[in-house]
Structure 1
Amino acid sequence: MIGFDRLITGASNIADDVDAMFFAMVALCGFVLLAVTVTLVLFSVRYRRGSKADRSGDHSRHLGAELTWTIVPGVLFIGIFAWSIGLFAKIQTMPKEATSIHVVAKQWMWKVQHADGRREVNQLHIPVGKPVRLTMTSQDVIHSFFVPAFRIKQDVLPNRYTQMWFKPERTGEFRLYCAEFCGTDHALMRGRIVVMEPAAYALWADAGGTDSLAHQGEALFRQLGCSGCHGPAATVHAPDLAGLYGKPVPLSDGSTVTADARYLRDSILLPSKQVAAGYPDIMPTFQNQIDEEDVIALTAYIQSLDPNPDPDPRQETVDAPR
């Protein structure tokens, strides 16, 4: 059982920063509340009914006091705003070396897919001290990925991808919750994050024994008949997928998009939404035929395609001059 201390003690790289901002805002708001309350009480006593307080209305103005209660709170709240912007930028700036993991939310479970093909349900194993990037989507309704000990929370939405990253700094097990009401069993949609020492994680990863996500996507690519149009020997006039990921794609309406995970997902499930320039709108939709996990595998395979593959050494041996 996970102890309560695992919930309140920070265990990620941003936990201390989030806590510092939270307590600073609590202190500032508490000070303002105290100042207003004390002033309210003093004025209530001084100007109570029957008191001899001067109510003539002939009051003097004090420019210094007016500037103080205007400028000081303004500077404080602008400082908090700037602080929060810096923290937000830190949370949103994902390191390039982060390990990429896919998460699919579904009533009422968390389904995790690692790049090497390992899958988990309602748990996520990761090594301590290594940044992790989560790419998440929902298969039904809005969910929210929330790990209190890491001070991270991100909505997980249907029909789109959201991302978040963190670096665990303590080993152990930490609770994972859905923080968005998602149906009758919302309270049961929870899991655990297992943070392990690198050596222990390596042993756990080696015990997986499964094909990589890209290899799974390649098998699905052929099974669904995608290679009949997008393969190197295809006779259909379709876009070449090798080296496509991350590149700009001109569209038939004159606009340009980047071939990221969102674009590839829409191209698979909603092919008529963004048609590549110079190609007919003939691709069939796979919506309601494959699930989000299949889309992730197909995207991983397309991302792995090399635009300049190494020549087959066997062919070089045959064609080499004697």
Structure 2
Amino acid sequence: MKEHLLRLWPEQASDYAVSVDWLVIGFTAMMVLFVVPVFVALWLFIWRYRRGRKADRDHRAQSNLPIELTWIILPFIGSLVVFLFSARLFFIARTPPADAMEIQVTARQWMWKFQHPGGQREINTVHVPARRAVKLTMISEDVIHSLFFPALRIKQDVLPGRYSMLWFQAEHSGTYEAYCAQYCGTDHAAMLARLVVLDPADYERWLQANGTQADLISQGETLYRQFGCGSCHGTASAPPLEGLYNQQVKLADGSQVLADDDYLRESIMLPQQKLVAGYAPIMPTYSNLLDEEAVQRLVAYLRALPAGPAKENP
């Protein structure tokens, strides 16, 4: 039976976590380096110039240019180093690899729902392979949540009505805790999850053991046909969807928008918000018919549609 010990520092499950820890340690050391001398000098002056002690109390201004320049330049250089290192980590955290495996995450009071590309679904537990980049595309069905993996040193708010992204690459197999880091209601403290990192071979066996009849794209295609989307989008009544993802779309007001995940979701749930130029506002809203998981499947299907040979995006 594994003992639960008090940990003064969270374990490190990724190289990114190691870098974040070194940033914290370096920043703390720099603060100590510059703050301790100030406090030491403060107490020396308090002792030297205490009441009743004979000391030179001449208040005429004196200056020492080398000391003043050193006190200005060294903290500036240290702050610049911390800034550059922090900016590098921020850029890494916001730039997932192009070949990252994508998992859909839906948050609601008070649980986490995960769906793998192969259609496998989990609640409050997510299995991922070690040493492979994993991208989480997240949305909330109710209020603001925040998915936090202490062992990975990463956290991202999960918002209602728009997608947010989080990615990581766990280097070490094991089971790690995840929390909601944004107060979201009465049972916020119970909104917990587990990250299970498996060796690649073990992860493939887990996928096979928990396989479904249809992957995420196929499930989206089923919904696409179920709601008869092709009856309009396959004709001149609605804009074509083939090859639409990540393309610029011209709107009726003359502006342009990138057809990313948020645009596709908004076009499904609130189609009248951003009308495509040249088309009438005939598409009904599906906000009362589809939940966020169904929308994620539709978006996955639309993202996978290849460009048609005879159609061009508006």
- The interval holding the TM-score normalised by the smaller chain is over 0.9
3-state SS, counterpart of residue 8 of structure 1 = coil
1:221 to 224, 236, 253: 224
- One-letter amino acid of the structure 1 residue matched with residue 83 of structure 2: F
* 1:177 aligned residue: 179
Task: Give the Å deviation of 1:3.
Answer: 4.7
Structure 2 equivalent of residue 275 of structure 1:
275
Q: What is the Cα deviation at residue 7 of structure 1? A: 7.1
Aligned-partner Cα distance in 1 for 2:71–2:205: 61
Counting only pairs closer than 5 Å after superposition, residues 11-30 of structure 1 correspond to structure 2 as 11-30=13-32
Offset of 1:114 from its aligned partner? Answer: 0.9
Q: Does the 8 Å contact 2:238/2:279 carry over to 1?
A: yes
Taking the aligned partners of 1:76 and 1:281, their CA distance within structure 2 comes to 57
Letter matched to residue 224 of structure 2? F
Q: CA RMSD in A?
A: 1.7
Distance in 1, matches of 2:304 and 2:186, equals: 40
Q: TM-score, normalised by structure 2?
A: 0.93
Q: 2:90 — aligned with what?
A: 88
1:110–1:121: 8 Å Cα contact kept in structure 2? yes
Task: State how 1:150-189 maps to structure 2 within 5 Å.
Answer: 150-189=152-191
Higher mean alpha-carbon deviation, 51-60 vs 78-87, is at 51-60
Contact 2:118 2:211 in 1 (8 A): no
Aligned mates of 1:10, 1:64 — CA distance in 2: 43
Matches of 2:296 and 2:178, distance apart in 1: 22
Q: Give the 5 Å matches for 1:187-202.
A: 187-202=189-204
- The alpha-carbon deviation at position 72 of structure 1 amounts to 1.0
Secondary structure of 2:103 counterpart: strand
Residue by residue over 1:160-219, the C-alpha shift from the partner in whole angstroms, topping out at 9 and shown as x without a partner, is 111111111111111011111111000100010111111111111012231111111111
Instruction: Give the whole-Å Cα distance in 2 for the aligned partners of 1:265 and 1:13.
Output: 33
TM-score by length of 1: 0.91
1 CA distance for matches of 2:225 and 2:8? 45
Cα separation, partners in 2 of 1:173 and 1:100, compared to 1, 3 Å: same
The answer on 1:34 being equivalent to 2:65 is no
Deviation at 1:31, TM superposition (A): 2.6
Percent identical: 48
Residues 292, 251 of structure 1: alpha-carbon distance in 2 compared, 3 angstrom cutoff? same
SS at match of 1:77: helix
| 1:42-53 equivalent positions in 2, closer than 5 A | 42-53=44-55
What residue is the counterpart of 1:9 in the other structure? 11
| CA distance in 1 between partners of 2:121 and 2:3 (Å) | 23
1:79 alignment partner in structure 2: 81
Runs of 4+ in 1 over 6 A off after TM superposition: none
Distance in 2 (CA, whole Å) between partners of 1:306 and 1:67 is 62
| Residues matched between the structures, number | 306
What residue number does 2:296 align with? 296
